[in-house]
Amino acid sequence: MKIRKWISNLLSTAMLLIFILLVAAVVVSKSSGGEPSFFGYEIKTVLSGSMEPGIQTGSIVALKPGGDMNRFQKGDVITFRSEDNILITHRIVEATLNSATGEALYRTKGDNNDAPDMNPVSSANVVAQYTGTTIPYVGYAMNFAVSKAGSIILMIVPGLMLLFYALYSSWKALSALEKKNAALSAPSAPETPQ
């Protein structure tokens, strides 16, 4: 009985923690405009295969924003905003500094692309530096989590699971209590005369 109670408490705690984590992930994702940031690192989803095999489509990557955007050199992987306002993560293949403006220009290329990107990237358009941390396939789940359907499912399903588990636990407790009351109120066997 002690083991069953311990397992029941463990499951209850695990369900509550999962629910809290999922709610926190959805809230952080929504409040940060779709993709969360943790401890000063931005988490972004990779939507193309231009950096494969190092960074796979559907992965999430950790980016370090801020700092001097003129500091990057050949070989660094940066995330920048394109002319179409799309975030792109590519490797720098050439870095030059405009001495008149003090602004760096970067020629970038996706590791999986045949040729460098057409337009050089101004340091003013650089958003962050890739930290080298990537987790494959999690980006698909992140994109789903920030969609309307994903937000609803991630909020409702764990809540329903907790509700059903609470109802089940209550039913088990009531059944045990009824058995105990039935045993206490059962008439005792009459004594036989001697």
Residue pair 81/87 in contact by the 8 Å Cβ criterion: yes
Q: 119: left (phi > 0), else alpha (psi -120 to 50), else beta? A: beta
Q: Which own/partner contact pairs does 105-108 have at CB distance under 8 Å and 24+ positions apart?
A: 106/72, 106/78, 106/80, 108/78, 108/80
**Choice among 48, 122, 151, 169 that is catalytic:** 48
Is 48 catalytic? The answer is yes
Q: Which residues are catalytic?
A: 48
